[in-house]
Amino acid sequence: MMIKNIAILSPGNMGAAVGAQLKEAGYDVITCLAERSDYTKRKAADAGIRDVASLDGLVTEADLILSILDPGKAVLIAEQVAGAMARTKTTPVYADCNATSPATATQLQGLIEEAGGKFVDVGIIGGAPTRRDNFPNFCTSGTDAALLDELDGKGVKIRYIGAEIGQGSAIKICNGAYNKGAFALYTTVMLAAEHYGFADFLRERLPNSQAGNVERLDEAIIRLPTLSERYIGEMEQVAETFASIGLTSNIHQGAAELFELLSASPLAAQRRDEIDPDRTSADTLAQLVVQLDRNR
């Protein structure tokens, strides 16, 4: 298969960065910005991603669609794309690149293949590509996974995981379960400490017992309110995945509930590039405790 036109749904922080790299590699990168925010429209414009007026038009033009968005919206977007495929009688390859459970990935596969499309399950490991030595891993699975191989080295690193749909999703789920689960646990502990007035004591003590971890987690606290709304769906997918194989869902369902709390804070209205560089984790906790007390 020769890929010429690649659609990104949606060009947020990761999607726009991947799209910019793919455009630089020579692909025509498109998206549909109907009803999207001014922020997303700006990200797409900065990345040189071409806007197509409708989803039907996007499906008609695209050889490959990369779904890179809030995992809580993955099913809705796949349903919309499947509908567009049916209406236009065109069937591009659809790669779901979201933090969804293997069960959700199978559901998405059914939607796309019922409409006649080919489905690839992708788990993204790593941050948005900002330079050539920092490409994220696109961990692919499914019988049609090889269709993405030509993208290797063009803004992403393609890593084939296996022929079973759900394997790509599972690797992302396990990675996110550890990273964001650690963020959630630490933030919960520090919010309780802030409420009771001894957060500074723990902040001084924990580096001795958790060397190398606390500084990273403190930095995460500053960003978490901004990211939390997107993390809710991911943690719910982690909880679903773990429950499906006999593990407790409670740890990451609790993480989802924490992120719901953080997403209700006024700090959550900020974009990542709008965060006050002088705001510390202590400042952040103090503001979040106000939200905590409001919810009691």
**Mean pLDDT across the chain, nearest whole number?**
93
| Domain 5-163 identical in fold to domain 170-294 | no
Q: Is the pLDDT of residue 82 over 60?
A: yes
pLDDT digits (tens, 9 = 90+) for 238-254: 999 999 999 999 999 99
CATH class of the structural domain 170-294: mainly alpha
Q: Which of 3-12, 68-77, 285-294 has the lowest mean pLDDT?
A: 285-294
Count CA within 13 A, CB hemisphere, residue 26.
7
Q: Which of 258, 265, 254, 234 is nearest to 70 (CA)?
A: 234
For 57-67, what is the mean pLDDT?
98
Q: What percent of the chain has pLDDT over 90?
A: 79
| pLDDT given at position 6 | 98
Q: How confident is the model at residue 2 (pLDDT cuts 50, 70, 90)?
A: confident
Q: Which of 60, 98, 57, 92 is nearest to 76 (CA)?
A: 98
Q: Give backbone dihedrals phi and psi of 67, rounded to 5 degrees, phi first.
A: -90, 110
Q: How confident is the model at residue 159 (pLDDT cuts 50, 70, 90)?
A: very high
More confident residue, 84 or 271: 84
Residue in this structure with the two tokens 């606390």, named with its chain if needed: 214
For 60-79, what is the mean pLDDT?
96
Enumerate the domain spans of the chain.
5-163, 170-294
Cα angle value 265/271/277 (rounded, 5°): 90
| pLDDT given at position 206 | 78
Q: What percent of the chain has pLDDT over 70?
A: 96
The CATH number that domain 5-163 falls under is 3.40.50.720
pLDDT digits (tens, 9 = 90+) for 195-217: 999 999 988 887 666 655 667 78
| pLDDT given at position 214 | 65
- Give the whole-angstrom CA distance, residue 234 versus residue 98: 9
For 263-291, what is the mean pLDDT?
90
For 107-132, what is the mean pLDDT?
94
| pLDDT given at position 274 | 86
- Give the whole-angstrom CA distance, residue 224 versus residue 267: 9
Q: Which of 13-27, 95-109, 271-285 has the lowest mean pLDDT?
A: 271-285
Count CA within 13 A, CB hemisphere, residue 252.
26
- Give the whole-angstrom CA distance, residue 115 versus residue 118: 9
For 256-282, what is the mean pLDDT?
91
| pLDDT given at position 205 | 84
Cross-sheet strand order for the sheet of 157-162? 50-51, 28-31, 5-9, 64-67, 93-96, 118-125, 137-141, 157-162
